[in-house]
Amino acid sequence: MSKKTEIKTEKIEREYVIPLREKCRKVPRYKKTNKAIRTIKEFLVRHMKIRDRDLRKIKIDRYLNEFVWFRGIRNPPHKIKVKATKEIGKDEVMVELSEIPEKLKFKKAKEERLESKAEDIIKKKKITEKPEEIKKEEKTEEEIKEEKEKKAAVVEAGKEIEKAAAKQAKHAVKDKTKQPKHQRRMALQK
């Protein structure tokens, strides 16, 4: 008798207000938002206890990234409120905005509507497919072998044609007469 043991994945969720002004102030203008993103990752690596302090283990949400970059490369926000979640078994942290601003709410809602419409279309297509059509799509082993043989024959014929063309080109007489690479300068004729 063997019993299945279920491993419960516990999540740690924390909210932080990350100060960005102090770190970004020291950087040249054209690198400020890049430094802001790096600062967010460094802050979370330190506070969420990531081993090796590896910044690649911090995954920033798309909307958080858009919020930081919204005002351009020269003017990131001075502080940002984020929600970080970490699964105990894994060493990755997912970061997202805790309060999404109005502009991004509309964008997020629009994308969710598009995704739901796409899912509905896929479901309808699956329902409308008939079992007879599915059977027609399945091919027997003999048909598959025949198709492979046909493809192999086509490839071989193509190679033979290429060889014949190369042979003809090799034995063809070259009409071109040898001309110097650079024309010589001649004195002007009167």
What's the pTM value of the predicted model, to 2 decimals? 0.57
Amino acid in position 129: E
User: What CATH superfamily classification does 11-106 receive?
Assistant: Ribosomal protein L31 (3.10.440.10)
∠ CA 105-117-130, nearest 5°, is 165
Where do the H-state alpha helices sit in the chain?
21-25, 32-47, 62-69, 102-128, 131-137, 141-171
Cα 12 to Cα 88, 89, 98, 99, 117, distances in angstroms: 7, 11, 15, 19, 33
Residue 4's pLDDT is what? 47
What's the average pLDDT block by block, 10 residues per block, for the chain (190 residues)?
Answer: 54 94 94 96 92 90 92 94 90 90 85 90 78 60 86 89 86 68 70
How many CB atoms sit inside 10 A of residue 108's CB? Answer: 14
CA max distance for the chain: 112
Residue 95's pLDDT is what? 95
Every domain of the chain and the residues it spans: 11-106, 132-166
Residue 174's pLDDT is what? 63
Residue 176's pLDDT is what? 61
Which tokens hold the place of 50?
A: 């990531």
Residue 184's pLDDT is what? 72
Residue 1's pLDDT is what? 45
